[in-house]
Amino acid sequence: MSANQLIQEIRTYNPEADFDLLNRCYEYGQQCHNSQRRKSGEPYFSHCVETAKTLISLKLDLNTICAGLLHDTIEDVDSATERHLADKFGGTIAALVQGVTKISKYPLQQHGRDEQRQAENYLKLLLATAQDVRVILIKLADRLHNMETLQFQSEDKKREIAKETLEIYAPIANRLGISRIKNRLEDLSFKYLLPYEYKNIAKALNLKLAEREAYAVETANHISAVLQQASIDASVRGRPKNIYSIYQKINEKGIPFEEIYDLIGMRVLVNRDIDCYTAAGAIHTRWPHVPERFKDFIGLPKANGYQSLHTTILDHGRRVEIQIRTHSMHNVAEEGIAAHWLYKEGAPSSKPSQNIFKWLKQTLEDIQELKGAGQFIRSFKTELFGDEVYVFTPKGDIIALPSRSTPIDFAYKIHTQVGNTCIGAEVNGMVVSLRYRLQNGDQVKINTNANGHPGRDWLRWVKTARARNKIKQWFKEQDRTEAIELGKRLLQIELRRSDLDLLSYLRSADFLALVGGEKSFATVDNPAHTSACTEVSAHTSTPTQQYFQDTEDFLEQIGNGELSAGEIINLVDQAKNSRSELEVTIESQKPLVFQSTPLIELNQIDLTGTRVMKCCRPIPGDEIIGYIKRGGGVSVHRTNCSRLPNDPDRLINIEWKSIDQIRYAVDLIIECHDRPGILGEITTAIAGLQVNIRKGKFGPILADRNKDTINCQFEEGGAGFERLTVEVTGLEQLDQLLDAVRNLEGVTKIVRA
């Protein structure tokens, strides 16, 4: 097709287009591909022209069509760089061609189980699409013609391209609402992936083609007559189903081809929205219909903008599917997001099309934030290609979500704060579990509480990337806040040893030089406002800026155990003496690693950030060590605890500061001869030391019931591990208790568990 023929087709819907630009792009593309041939033997540029023809059929803007003509130039011609194209034809065309080139470079199907590589390539597709949706429209047109000429490829290449098309590009066309491209891509992919099944269905369809066509004409005439009697101006025609949809129905229902009777559907086009419902009423009056097959996509449009009434009637026992829509709805159903396009600006013009683009971009951004290749790929396919469920807010607004979404997904779709404070949900007036799977037509109400917060188990239930991201973000922020608070406490303890005040220290010029200047101190007094503390001064030159974005970042790293408070203080002290020496020292440490550890008086730390571990139950007097947990806080163990994590970088030296009012639980195992009064003597000895017995259990030793020995033990958690639990002020009092009981007649063993 010549440039003039393309121009004539464009002129029918965009007569003011810059046709001189199209002529120049046509000539340049023809020149670039002049010496190239396709595997079919045809000139390569014929493929570029066919791509442009498809874009013209969607009535897209001139820049998109020109980019279609040039979409392979950067990939195939060395001299055709993005900058070169921008100089010749403008930045928009160059950017579109570059976007298509990036998609084409990365196969979306990976051999083997390389999920990471596949996820990376999916991400590149998302980035290109989110930046400008026209990139994916050009790629769909390009892929359509490649599929139409796929017979010239090798068998392996045919299957590879067909699989990628069926799993990625056909669903994208469906999401954008371009049904005619979607149906064509599905049938062509099916033809090469399952050629035997394709031929059987195609052959069966051809055998009774004349019969079906005659029946379609007859049925269309009957429906037209019924609508005419109801004074409805309508156009009625048959619509053959695509082969792949028939194959899907055979698989889903598990029935042979001969038992599928709705191979031809009918489409009724009317002028007004109200006529759709009037026509449905007239048809249902004349023929019985299948109630569960009636769907109203006019009152409840799909996310891609699709609107239509679907019903199935019974004509002498034969099922006939009917779609009823207006002419404008039909245009959207066929062309999707391209149905209403600003030809001069290259963007959707109608509100529904703008909503499609907004929804697509938000979905892509949500998925893009996910971590982990497997989760990324699953969300990519679920949210972009999966089925949808349509539910209502209490005010009657429609919310579209992926199938099997939960009230939690709904809550985060409404607003992040609604999701974060969700404490329960009601569906259709009934209280339901937050794990409830939403159904079409459900009316959902979210109950919130200002003190509510997400649960980590929510991550196992939610379906949307948005909900998953927001939940993870909430926990990350909580962990960060706790780490900042712990970092402040650890630093404060270290400063007290030098009689320094935390607030004054953090405001000192030498400290601020480490973390990027005075702006970084914005929220030290109120760590809850972490988002306000992200600005870094552009006028500082201290090399450590690359390690600390601001004061809170610095405190967070201390709280997480990545930095030692003592080492930071040493660095600041050095800075007072020699600024240049400090810079050289830090420059040589990438990343910063600190080996020294602070001494911490345990009881000076807020107990909300410190946990004395039950695995070894340390008490004052024991040799102890602290472990900085990754989520913030310090766990305190005895130094010989077998469950102490083997991570030297996160261990800190700590010491006790005894407080008389605090008592600590200790587990004891006591063995003694079974004689009258022995248990009373043991408890009396313990009570004489002003020690409280919290729990205890007494009985014969289970290992050898023939011996006249008993255990004084406490049974913990039904695990069969028994102990006597007492409360002492520290190691000194515990030693006194052990000596007192050990000296009793008949006691053979007393040990600390």
Which two three-digit tokens encode residue 408?
A: 């939690």
At 557 the pLDDT is: 75
As a three-state string, the secondary structure of 199-251 is: HHHHHHHHHCHHHHHHHHHHHHHHHHHHHHHCCCCEEEEEEECCHHHHHHHHH
By the 8 A CB rule, do 574 and 590 touch? no
At 463 the pLDDT is: 84
Known catalytic residues are: 75-76
At 322 the pLDDT is: 92
At 703 the pLDDT is: 44
At 325 the pLDDT is: 93
Q: Which CATH superfamily is domain 203-339 in?
A: Beta Polymerase, domain 2 (3.30.460.10)
Topology alike, domains 3-193 and 664-752: no
By the 8 A CB rule, do 56 and 341 touch? no
Rounded to an integer, what distance in angstroms lies between the CA atom of residue 391 and that of residue 413? Answer: 12
Average pLDDT across each block of 10 residues of the chain; the chain has 753 residues. List them in order: 88 87 92 86 90 90 91 82 88 88 62 51 58 83 92 88 85 80 91 90 77 83 92 87 82 72 80 92 91 85 81 84 90 68 50 58 56 51 61 79 87 90 90 88 88 85 84 81 78 72 71 55 37 32 45 75 66 51 36 39 53 81 79 77 75 69 81 80 86 77 48 38 74 88 84 81
Rounded to an integer, what distance in angstroms lies between the CA atom of residue 410 and that of residue 407? Answer: 5
> Residue 177: in which H helix or E strand, if any?
none
At 717 the pLDDT is: 33
At 80 the pLDDT is: 80
- Looking at residue 254, the DSSP 8-state letter turns out to be T
Cα–Cα distance list, 723 to 155, 438, 622, 709 (Å): 72, 50, 20, 16
At 262 the pLDDT is: 62
Question: Residue ranges of the alpha helices (H) in 132-194?
Answer: 134-148, 155-164, 170-175, 179-193
Which two three-digit tokens encode residue 285?
A: 């009056």
Q: Residues 605, 607, 613, 617: is their CA dihedral positive or negative?
A: positive
Rounded to an integer, what distance in angstroms lies between the CA atom of residue 315 and that of residue 313? Answer: 6
pTM above 0.75, yes or no: no
Residue-wise burial string across 429-444, b where 16 or more C-beta atoms lie within 10 A, e elsewhere:
eeebebebebeeebeb
CATH of domain 664-752: 3.30.70.260
At 477 the pLDDT is: 80
Chain mean position to CA 140:
25
Residues in the chain: 753
By the 8 A CB rule, do 494 and 569 touch? yes
CATH of domain 3-193: 1.10.3210.10
At 699 the pLDDT is: 66
> Cβ of 468: how many Cβ atoms within 10 Å?
23
Cα–Cα distance list, 181 to 336, 342, 383 (Å): 10, 21, 20
Q: Which residues contact 305 (CB under 8 A, 6 or more apart)?
A: 177, 332, 336, 337, 339, 352, 353, 355, 356
Q: At CB < 8 A and 24+ separation, what contacts does 499-503 make?
A: none
The full set of domain ranges for the chain reads: 3-193, 203-339, 472-587, 600-655, 664-752
Place of tokens 């239930």: 461
